[in-house]
Amino acid sequence: MIPVTKPFLPPVEEYEAFVKDIWTRHWLTNNGPLVNELEIRVKNYLQTPHFLFVNNGTIALQMAIRALRLEGEVITTPFSFIATTSSLMWERCTPVFVDIDPDTFNIDPEKIRAAITPKTTGILATHVFGNPCDIEAITEIAKEYNLKVIYDAAHSFGVKYKGQSLFNFGDISTTSFHATKLFHTIEGGGVFTVNAELLKEMAYVRNFGFDGPENFATVGINGKNSEFHAAMGLANLKYIEDILNRRKDTYEYYLEHLQDKNIKFQKIEKNTTYNYSYFPAIFESEEILKKVENYCMMNLIVPRRYFHPSLNTIRILSGNKCPISEDIASRVLCLPMYHVLSKEETNFILRIILRALNY
């Protein structure tokens, strides 16, 4: 079977070396030395000023919402993973969906402006598949209306915009280090900010709100991660450049062979150094997509309909109409993309897709 993704795993002996040190120290969690080392090395690699390692990307979003004191309405995108929206609801905010740009698949800034009301306190935008949002336009709107900005950058590890890490934009950026991501810690996530005071607030939030053994600075949660997860991150970080290069090769190979096949591809923003985290293909219709998907499944290829359905159509969320998001969500299929995907496997995937399209 060829899955849509497969976690990168370092040589087992390299991970075991970290684990043996954990056994020696008997320090398993609670801000251990490997967690601290991972935070330093990630900051150095990405050239980001402030970073906290947390236990998953959803908690990262909730910590960001709490640290920024968001309430009332928060404008967000319907074309994202459900955690983007559910994190707002957990924090008692009301998500307000606005539609997306048909080419970048990111939230449309002009539609943000039209959705602002006196109850609006923030914008939660997703860099979809690691493709940068229109950062300048969102920043301008946020300043004009005194809104806070969180970027859900779950797919954005290694992406640069205008020479800077994509995590350096917005009041807070969050990410996921789940096993499905190109850089992972098995389970994990992170919060990034250029604001030292926000970092301090989120550090309290991550550790139950503790400010000393018997004092509490704020209402917190258990957002900590373990030494074992940090060990996987440290082992994987050594290979990140090779991971990014291999994904670029696969992405470009797909693109080369699917051009002129009536398939639309995501437009990557200018001034971007991309990480090729996903390969979304937009077919002419949902009917054609389902035919391709069925052909793939019959041949033990498992693509994925990221992100389907459009979040505004889900019964538990029930947002306003977002026709572009609904359309893209009905026609998008992400093809298999991972480090050990061979050229032979990629050619097999392409043959099955082309066979389905020509049948």
The answer on 59 and 39 residing in a single domain is yes
Q: Using the 3D structure, point to which of 203, 237, 271 is the last residue of a domain.
A: 237
pLDDT of residue 227: 98
Q: Is residue 184 part of a domain?
A: yes
pLDDT of residue 317: 83
The answer on 63 and 204 residing in a single domain is yes
Q: Is residue 111 part of a domain?
A: yes
- Extended beta strands in 21-93, E state: 50-54, 73-76
Does a cis peptide bond (omega within 30 degrees of 0) precede residue 309? yes
Q: Is 123 within 8 Å of 241 (Cβ atoms)?
A: no
The answer on 299 and 183 residing in a single domain is no
Q: Using the 3D structure, point to which of 186, 209, 237 is the last residue of a domain.
A: 237
Answering whether pTM is above 0.75, one says yes
CATH number, position 315: 3.90.1150.10
Q: Is residue 216 part of a domain?
A: yes
pLDDT of residue 212: 83
Residue appearing with tokens 């090729």: 276
Q: Is 78 within 8 Å of 319 (Cβ atoms)?
A: yes
Number of domains in the chain: 2
Q: Is residue 248 part of a domain?
A: yes
Determine the Cα–Cα distance for residues 347 and 87; give it in Å rounded to an integer: 39
Q: Is residue 77 part of a domain?
A: yes
Q: Is residue 285 part of a domain?
A: yes
pLDDT of residue 257: 97
The answer on 252 and 229 residing in a single domain is no
The answer on 58 and 46 residing in a single domain is yes
The answer on 244 and 128 residing in a single domain is no
The answer on 229 and 273 residing in a single domain is no
Provide CB contacts within 8 A for 44, sequence distance 6+.
Answer: none
The answer on 109 and 140 residing in a single domain is yes
3-state secondary structure 115-180: HCCCCEEEEEEECHHHCCCCHHHHHHHHHHHCCEEEEECCCCCCCEECCEEHHHCCCEEEEECCCC
Q: Using the 3D structure, point to which of 237, 268, 288 is the last residue of a domain.
A: 237
Range of the domain at 71: 12-237
The answer on 278 and 149 residing in a single domain is no
Chunked into runs of 10 residues, the chain (359 residues) has average pLDDT values of 98 98 97 98 98 98 98 98 97 97 97 97 98 98 98 98 98 98 98 98 96 89 98 98 98 96 97 98 98 98 97 88 98 98 98 94
Report the alpha-carbon angle 262-102-356, nearest 5. 25
The answer on 230 and 93 residing in a single domain is yes
Would you call 222 helix, strand, or coil by DSSP?
strand
The answer on 254 and 194 residing in a single domain is no
Q: Is residue 7 part of a domain?
A: no
pLDDT of residue 316: 85
Amino acid residing at 266: Q
The answer on 313 and 177 residing in a single domain is no
Q: Is residue 5 part of a domain?
A: no
CATH number, position 99: 3.40.640.10
Which uninterrupted H or E stretch holds 97? Answer: strand 94-97
